[in-house]
Every structure is written in structure tokens, then in C-alpha cells.
A and B are shown apart, each in its own frame.
Chain A
Amino acid sequence: MLETIKEFAGEFFVTGDPMILGAQISIALVSLAILFVLTYFKKWKWLWTEWLTTVDHKKIGIMYIMASLLMLFRGGFDALLMRIQLAIPDAGFLHGDHYNQIFTTHGVIMILFMAMPLMFGLFNVIVPLQLGARDVAFPFLNAFSFWMFFAGAMLFNLSFVIGGSPAAGWLAYPPLSELTGSPGVGQDFYIWGIQISGIGSLATGINFVVTILKMRAPGMKLMKMPMFSWSTLASCITIMFAFPILTVTLFLLFLDRYMGAHFFTVDGGGNPMMYLNLIWMWGHPEVYIVVLPAFGIYSEVVSAFSRKKIFGYKSMVFALMSISFLSFFTWAHHFFTMGSGADVNAFFAVTTMIIAIPTGVKVFNWLFTMYRGRITFEVPMLWAIAFIPCFVVGGMTGVMLSVAPADFQFHNSYFLIAHFHQVLIGGVVFGYFAAFYYWWPKVFGFKLNATLGKWAFWLWNIGFYVCFMPQYYLGLDGMTRRLYTYDFDMGWLELNILSTIGAFFMGAAFLFQVWDIVYSIKNAKREHKADSWGVGRTLEWGIPSPPPFYNYARVPVVTEQDDFWEKKMRAERGEADPAIVKAAEEAPLEPIHMPKNSGIPIIMSGFWFIAGFGFVWDWKWMIVLGLIGVIATMIARSFNYNDDYYVQVEEIERIEAAAAAKGAV
């Protein structure tokens, strides 16, 4: 009996590595500490009613962002481990298999469990406020999406200490990711972690498309909608078309691994090339899914801190939508070297280059938004400004990679690594940081400390260039990606050391950001100003910070693009608001229809987690238990008619008065 348990534990837990043992112990200790604190301070009920069962888009947004910062820490820690290993030739810090697990999880976490939830968090916090809506179109589905993401992320991260991490690269190309190449359970954790969170992502995409199309305030024509909401629409439409491809692809891989099917195997008539095509049909749109909202953020931030209307609004909208469309016609540029022939390569090279045109136009429009503006350099604006040169260089190297015959020399090398980190960090992460600092005071009523914010900004930027510029050269000098070690004779030593130093700068920058958050929560002045920065242009800057849970006491009526800014300008000029605006503002308060909290999303996702864990280990009783739970919660939801309520006028009056007393409006 004891032997059986020992044997099981040896396979179940990852053993034999002191670093992982340390992680296992600290995870256990931290979990115990959290349980203790919650119990000791009697916070369980608070946690359940205020957070775990909430359907409030702002709270869900905050939970998304918290989870994504946690994942940024994990993914960043992975990156530092890799950079330590690569700093010197023949380093023995990590052995091959461990290194392979780390770069695989680094990639998956950074894209799917860091960038995506951070983006969803920003959608959640900002979009309904910008539209003048009281919540998203489907608040219950929104909570469900978050918990599915969370369940998937936890399942994936669990592989670090239980069963072993996947090690076949972030896109898991077969035949390496098939049973023959990856016999362990790591690859199954990968499939189920992504599948479960992917359902959540697809649902979020649908949710926000409907929210944007159906829930804008009266008068907000599509062509008067703020740019961030436009970029959200572009991104979510892309999600709706791209994510089903991912789900199907991973499902087929699952069938191969679990049922012995032959979709992507090399034997039995399977074809791995099919997988490469399918995964990139999702994978390429995916990078535009995460970068389009960043474009929207830059538009908002640049316009706000230049105190000037966005230049070329129509061009910007057209560029966003055309990028979203074109992103589906470039996937094969990820494998020009697969031997598809000159016709195919020429086609995909040209479609890829074409995307540079609308992207370039956007850069010019941002520049000319600043032109004849009045620019101030608050932290969000610093990120937006740093983005421009960084993204231009990243875009240019992207164009270089799109030149198919030249790509034969760049492909799979550190040149490629440097390129996509430049567009993903310089484009996506910088943008999300800009949004993080910009909308923080709207959500919490106080600003983050600017001095610490600037320290983080400069460390991030210096670190970025020191880390990734050498990698372009290393790529041209023949260094390929995913090497866990290299020979001293290659002459790659100096630049790798430099790159590692840069990575640690970025690590330090992240610590400054954490410090900034903690410091500001403790010390920052609670200003509660509605127009936190004094430069707000869109609706959300006209309501209290933090906004009441119903957002708008009265549904606003919109007459202009940048409606809030125009209202301020009218007041400055001493003009009266248009009659319809006035009428809406002075209308008597009415009871507000709101959704009730629900425990079903978190419970249903918990059952998905159980089913996923069962599939990973092929424990049939667990799969059945999980799936029965999923179905039961679905049925429970279907027969629950008590899911909404009205906020009474007295309560609205009380909340609005309290906000006004804090100096909010």
C-alpha cells in the first residue's frame, strides 16, 4: 500500500529539483497563510459576496488585472531564469528539459494568461463606462468568462508542481506535441488549460461585441464612439472568428493524444503541417487581438495629454477594422520555410506587408494628434510616447521578416525573438501600462505615485533596449531560438550577458511597479475627482471616481465625439448645453435595473477545472464528476428566474450624495 502511494506520488508531483521543491513548499505555505488570514479576520463572507460572486464589470475587471499581474510575475520570473541560463555558454543552471518547460510556459503564460486577461480587464473596467452603459450586455456570462480564464490559468500553472510542465513550445507543434514526442501529462495540462480559458475568451469576445453594438448611450453613433471602444470592437470581432479555430485545433490534438486519432501524427495518414496552418490561423490574428486595444489606448492617451482631438478619426477607425480583417490572411508567414512554394510564399509575403500600411497611418495620426497640441508628460503619456519609436522599429523588423526569401535567414533565430518581443512589449505591454496608469484613478479614486511610476518607466525602457537589441544581432549571427545552451566558440557570450542585464532591469522595473501600487494604496491622497487628470475627453470622466456600482445615475445623452471634453469647453465658453443633454441630466431619477450576483460562474468553472484535471490524468470518475457538475450548474442557471433587481431611487440619491460630498463631481 505504502509502495503504491509512493509510486503514485513520484509520478504525480514533480520531484527531484530543489527549485521546484522550494516552489511547492512556498505555494503550500502561501495558500495556508491566505486561508488563515481569511478565517482569522472573518473575511470569507465578504470575499464571497463582494468578489467571487460579483457580476459587476468593474470588479471583474479588477480581478482580471490582479490575476494578470500575478501571471506577469510568473512569466517574468521564467524569463529571468532563461536569461540566467543563457548569460554564459555551457551554463549548468538549468538542464535541457527544465529549460524547455520554462520557455514553453513563459510563452503560453505571457500571451494567454497575462496579455489576454490584462486586456479583458481593461475592456471590463473601461468599455461600459465609456459607452455610458451600466454593465456589459451579459453580466452573468462575463463573470463566467472570468472564472473560466481563472480555472484554465490555474490548471495550466498547476503543471509546474504536479505532473510536469509542457515542453513542446508555446504553440506545441506536432509531432513533438503528440504522445510520441511528449508522453508526459504536461502537454495535456497545456491542452486543457488553454481549452478551458479559451471558452471564456470566446464568450468575452461575443459579450463585448454585443455590448458595443447594443448598449451605447443614446446619441452615441458608432462614428462618435471613443477610440478605445472601437479598438475593443475590432479586437473582439477578431476573437469571435479566431478562437473557434484554436478550440478545434487543440481538440483534434487532444483526440490524437487521448483516443489515438491521426490528425497530426506522422503515421496513419496524419499531417503535422495541417496543425501548423490551423494554429497560426488563430495565432496570427491573436497578436492583433492583443495589439488592437493597445492602439485604442494610445489614441485615448495621446489625445488626452495633448489636449486635442484625435487626428483623422475616420482613418483610425478604418485602419483598425482593416487590420482586423487582414490579420486573417497572413498566417503562412510563420512558416515560409515549410516548402509551400513560391506562389504561396509570395502571396503571404505581400498580404503581410500590406498590414504595415494601416499601421503606419495610425502612427502618423498619433503624431499629428500631438502636433499643435499642448503636451504634458504624465506617466501614461510617457508610455505612449515611448511606444512610438519602439513600435516603429518593431514594425520595420516585421516588414523585414515578411520578405519571404529573407525570412529564410531570420526564421527561428533570435532576430525573430527580438522582433516579436519588441512589438509585444513595445506595442502591447507599453499600451496596457499606459491604460493601467491612466484609468487607475477612475477605478480607485486616487492616482499612482508618479515618481515611482517614472522609475519603473525608465527601467523598463532601458532594460528593454539593452535586452532585445543584442538579440537582433545574435539572430543574424546564427543563434537560434529555444537553445538551452551554446558553445563558447560561437562568440555569442558578450551580447548574451548584455541581454541578461537588460532582462534584470525589466525585472527591477516590475518591482518598482509593485512598490508603486502598494505605496499608493497606503499613502496616495484620495482625491475622488471625477476628471482625475483634468484632461478627460470621454463619458467616464464625468462620473464619480470610483464610479458607483450602477455607473450612471441617469443615462447620459451624447451629442459629440469626445462628449465630456466638449461639455467642459461649452462650460468654459459660457455656452448652454443642448436641450436634449440638459433634459437627460435633469430628468428625475428612476429605479435602476441591475443583475444579481451569482455563485454559479465560479462553481461551474470549478467543475470545468475538475473535468480538465480528470482528462489530464485520465481519471474517468473525475471527468464524469466534473462534467455532471457542469451540466447540473447549467440546469440550475436555466431555472433561476430570480436574477435581477431594481436599485431604488432613495438608494441612488444616497450614493450620489455621498460621492458629491467626497468632492467627486
Chain B
Amino acid sequence: MAGEGLHLSYEFIIDTGIILRYLREIRKAADLLDFLEHIGKITVSTITYMEILVGCQPHEEESTRLLFDRLPQHYINQEIAEKASSLIKKYQDIFGKDNPRQYPDAIIAATTWQQKAVLVSLNKKHFDSTLIDEFTIKTIDQQSEDWIKQLKL
């Protein structure tokens, strides 16, 4: 897998799926965030923040904001928009119309590319099927006992 033997203090961009599992009280997601924050910097795309807020009930928003206070956000800019559109065109298997999360996934991926970061995702179905040259992805098998070991850092 690309990016094996990463230097510590890398930036890890956490995708929406991992935050969702965290909100669903999956301990492995919380442990993963602790681990990545310990060895590097963890961030999210502002798209992830928007998506999670969309799913929140009004009484859940304050706690959610507190979580995202801990996760610095990357805002979408012109470069990210251009990179996202090029990823959608180039990788139709991943970011094509068959993926209902086509746009947010592409923006999160483009943010990772722009930041020269590592995308951490549970989406093995999409990301393991195609080799992506532009950025590094670490996919985790959701069913595995040890998510941290799955990173193969």
C-alpha cells in the first residue's frame, strides 16, 4: 500500500465515516482518534463538519461543536474544487455517479491531496479497488478487532 512507513507527525484527514462511528459509540473509533492525535495531527474537511451537523438534532449540536473544536477544519477553496473535479473525472469507479456520496468524498479526497496528508477511511470497498496516485489513503476494515493495527504505520 502506498505510504507505508510513514513518518510520525504526519497529518491525518479523518473521513466522515469514522466520525459517524465515533458518534455511534464505537470505541475503536475513539481509540483511533486518540492514537492519530498522539502521533500526528488530525484534521477534517469542513464538508465533514457540515455533513455531521446535517444529521444532528438541535440538542446534539453543542456537543458536536465541542468535538469539532478538537478537529481543525480545512475549508474548500479554488484549488480543492479543481482537484475534486479532476478526481471525479479520473476515478469514476470511486467518485462517479454510482457513489451516492460522490461530491463529499471527492472534496475530502481533494483536501487530502492539497494538504499532502493521509486520508483515513473505512471505505475499503471504494479505495482498495483502485490505485490512487495523487494522495495516500489508509483504509481500515471496520470488522477488524484492532483498527490501529490496520493502519500499518
A pairs with B: no
